[in-house]
Amino acid sequence: MEDQPSSPLERLYQLQEVLNEVRTKTERRSKTPDHLVHVEAAYNDLVHRRQELGGRVQSAEARKKELASEVADLAEQLAKYQKQLALVKTNREYGALLNEIDEVKKKIRAHEDETLALEETLGKAQAEASQGESGFPAEEQGYLDQMKEWRAEQEVLGGEIAAASAKAEALRARIDKKLLLLFDRIAKTRQGLAVARVEMVGNQTAACSACHVRLRPQLLSDLRMSREAVHCESCKRILYWDPKAEV
């Protein structure tokens, strides 16, 4: 069974440790790991490229159908003009009709040239899309598997955060409100570090573990004897003395 902190300052120090655990794990849960950021970016690029190729293929196929329909209409128009050639009675009408026929033939050739260019573009896009499709399922599954692992880890972190938060509330209930207010005020201005453990750095010589400034002998003596909050004279944090730390 876990030892329960006995003194108010010991409970306060443990509260700080638990709150730091909550904060650290909350930040970890909310931030996607760097390697997954790269994995997700690569997957999104792959999906975007796949969609882009699909769009190019669809656009080319639609334009190809449109050209085929227009060529059919032009061919019908050409046949109509060619039949009219036998019916015209003047050279002027005949020449005008020949000009119309030439224009229709030009349009047909232009459409055929565009169709050939589209077929080349379509062939390349389809080949690239086919190559991408062959590897996409494995790429997608790899991405989904890694994201599934991260979601599972987030759930575990969520449970640990909830347990630590409950522990913090239980500790708060056992700490004097005045001391809690002091703790919260200092923690707010000191990035969550309101209580600093005293470190023995030599025989009868101690220092604040937060700012590493050595404590006056009298302050260390007061800290050993007092059960009230004693502050570091340098960083103003609450000092926590653990007798087991003395060497």
- Over residues 42-65, the pLDDT tens digits come to 889 988 888 888 888 888 899 999
One domain, residues 128 and 227: no
- How far lies 56's CA from each of 27, 46, 130, in Å? 42, 15, 13
Strand 195-202 and strand 238-240: the pairing is parallel
One domain, residues 153 and 230: no
Pair 200, 245: CB distance under 8 Å:
yes
Q: Which residue has the tokens 């207010």?
A: 181
Backbone angles phi, psi at 202, to 5 degrees: 175, 180
Domain boundary among the residues 120, 154, 173 is at: 173
Enter the DSSP assignment of 244: G
Answer yes or no: is 208 within a domain: yes
One domain, residues 78 and 97: yes
Percent over 70 (pLDDT), the chain: 96
CATH code of the domain containing 109: 1.10.287.1490
One domain, residues 143 and 47: yes
One domain, residues 188 and 167: no
Cα distance between residue 34 and residue 22, in whole Å: 21
Backbone angles phi, psi at 213, to 5 degrees: -80, 135
One domain, residues 156 and 188: no
One domain, residues 208 and 92: no
One domain, residues 130 and 238: no
Domain boundary among the residues 173, 203, 234 is at: 173
One domain, residues 116 and 208: no
Cα distance between residue 149 and residue 39, in whole Å: 13
Indicate the average pLDDT of the chain: 89
Answer yes or no: is 88 within a domain: yes
Cα distance between residue 76 and residue 87, in whole Å: 18
Answer yes or no: is 9 within a domain: no
One domain, residues 43 and 66: yes
Confidence check: pLDDT of 247 > 60: no
Domain boundary among the residues 133, 153, 173 is at: 173
Answer yes or no: is 20 within a domain: no
Answer yes or no: is 1 within a domain: no
The pTM is what?
0.66
Answer yes or no: is 217 within a domain: yes
Answer yes or no: is 19 within a domain: no
- How far lies 221's CA from each of 133, 207, 215, 241, in Å? 74, 13, 10, 10
pLDDT of residue 148: 94
Number of domains the chain contains = 2
Instruction: Tell me which residue range forms the domain holding 200.
Output: 181-245
Q: Which residue has the tokens 């997954």?
A: 36
One domain, residues 200 and 117: no
Answer yes or no: is 27 within a domain: no
- Over residues 86-99, the pLDDT tens digits come to 888 899 999 999 99
- Over residues 228-240, the pLDDT tens digits come to 789 999 999 999 9
One domain, residues 152 and 216: no
- Over residues 86-136, the pLDDT tens digits come to 888 899 999 999 999 999 999 999 999 999 999 998 888 888 888 777 788
